[in-house]
With several copies, the nearest count.
Chain A
């Protein structure tokens, strides 16, 4: 018996629900040396802005209990160069999702316009939530009105699948999710990193050059699961869940909580084979528990009695 792992995210059919998380997989080439990228449900590339960005000053990484803080600051080669690199991924025959960032609505729009003609770019993930850009970025993610305007603008500019990546650093995520839905997004993804910091007690200064960074990894998994549960209740759109996934068991938790697909970030750094291992593990879980398709378990934990 084989199980059907495919899921639908907007206009995309993914052959399985597993993709790398943006910023954790470069433009794919590094991990292509470990496994065949065509095994992935999709590939998600680094956050892309219109012009090249150098990123934040180092140190950019600090290890924390069961997690890491990063303050990369969206270092990327800019949309033109990104387009070339994305084109090189066409051969894998899987959807390429481009994470888009910017300091203004116009910049998001320009990035999309630049990539619109690149066939290999199958979908856009609109990053309104990177905690590492000071100007604009953060407020985009926290105001439903701004999200509505931004997504409406981008919706008018593309027929490709539009995914909005939400920030977890908010009091109530549901109005933000609904604003994206109302403006025509095809899917939501969450969570981006939690804002955090760490201090070097010998040098008596922050460990990160940027002072604050974004927390990711297993430590944030319970928070991410809660947001996925909550948002998949609040909207009809499919949700791509992420935050601390390191194993097939973790991925299944997200699917049971209502995610239609999952993304894996930090765990790639620890285990470069984590994505294919999680794909195989989800299939094994479904088989052992007599499910025929991944669709059958999406949101299933909401129907069960708690406790």
Chain B
């Protein structure tokens, strides 16, 4: 965990308002961890922005992000050669299963950290299904890259413009009824709750990656808490962002 100045090697537009940013410099992280990225050299906007690690290795760090506000707008305007301040890796990532099948479920931009997870699962020789959901076909970015990493692949869109029409959790329901597996999910909270409930119905373990507004990103400020299933607060940045579903969603 450290603060580094990293140079932008590539800033590619990969979808509507979605960019893939490649930074020079190594980072030793596990899938599901995140970094905090400085989007401005001045006091406004003040806070660094949290982004999951889309991919990293000893010499580069890749982020996949969507422009949704002021900070991400500034980030998208940055050019190759510019320097960003990056703190990380932060948080707890996905626990890699010792054995067995894995079902990885993405909702929209929730796909970002799962790419690195799929890499790790592939290296570990796991049998993996990737279920990729989004509002519409255009939001299913980088499909080929995801598909190339897994044995089973299916997509769903809310508007039916690609793959199954409906929530990606319907694909999960079918997948688990076909073959069991540990579930890893990232996406909007209702989708995560849905996935957790379905996994519970099959007695499958389920790990979800959550989001919260953060200040420090390291566990010091207690700003990013969410209530756990036991009613006690968890820090998303330091106790998560990946949690066992039963820790954060009441049964």
Bound state CA distance, A62 and B45, in angstroms? Answer: 11
Interface residue stretch chosen among B8-16, B120-128, B157-165, B216-224: B216-224
Contacts of A65 in B (CB 8 A): 43-44
Given A30-B219, A270-B38, A61 and B46 contact (CB-CB distance below 8 Å)? no
Q: Interface residues of B, CB < 8 Å — how many? A: 31
Contacts of A34 in B (CB 8 A): 1-3
Given A58-B225, A60-B223, A68 and B216 contact (CB-CB distance below 8 Å)? no
Bound state CA distance, A59 and B227, in angstroms? Answer: 11
Contacts of A25 in B (CB 8 A): 220
- Size class of the A contact interface (CB-based, 8 Å): 35 or more
Partner of B3, one of A24, A59, A66, A271: A271
Partner of A273, one of B3, B212, B238: B3
Contacts of B222 in A (CB 8 A): 23, 26, 46, 55, 60, 72, 75
Contact check, A70 vs B223: say whether CB atoms are below 8 A apart: yes
Contact check, A218 vs B47: say whether CB atoms are below 8 A apart: no
Contact check, A61 vs B224: say whether CB atoms are below 8 A apart: yes
Contacts of A217 in B (CB 8 A): 43, 46
Within 8 A of B (CB), among A234-281: 246, 266, 268-273
Within 8 A of B (CB), among A39-65: 46, 54-55, 57-63, 65
Does A67 have its Cβ within 8 Å of any Cβ on chain B? Answer: yes
Bound state CA distance, A55 and B222, in angstroms? Answer: 9
Contact check, B46 vs A23: say whether CB atoms are below 8 A apart: no
Contacts of B212 in A (CB 8 A): 58-59
Does A31 have its Cβ within 8 Å of any Cβ on chain B? Answer: yes
Given A30-B220, A269-B215, A63 and B233 contact (CB-CB distance below 8 Å)? no
Partner of B47, one of A24, A26, A30, A269: A269
Given A54-B232, A75-B233, A269-B215, A68 and B47 contact (CB-CB distance below 8 Å)? yes
Contacts of A63 in B (CB 8 A): 45-47, 213
Contact check, A68 vs B225: say whether CB atoms are below 8 A apart: no
Contacts of B85 in A (CB 8 A): 271
Bound state CA distance, A90 and B222, in angstroms? Answer: 23
Contacts of A75 in B (CB 8 A): 222, 225, 233
Report B's interface with A, CB cutoff 8 A.
1-3, 38, 43-48, 85, 87, 212-227, 232-233, 238
| Known contacts A63-B47, A269-B215, then 5 further A-B pairs from the complex at CB < 8 Å, ordered by chain A residue | A26-B221, A30-B219, A59-B212, A218-B43, A269-B217
Report A's interface with B, CB cutoff 8 A.
23-26, 30-31, 33-34, 46, 54-55, 57-63, 65-68, 70, 72, 75, 217-219, 246, 266, 268-273
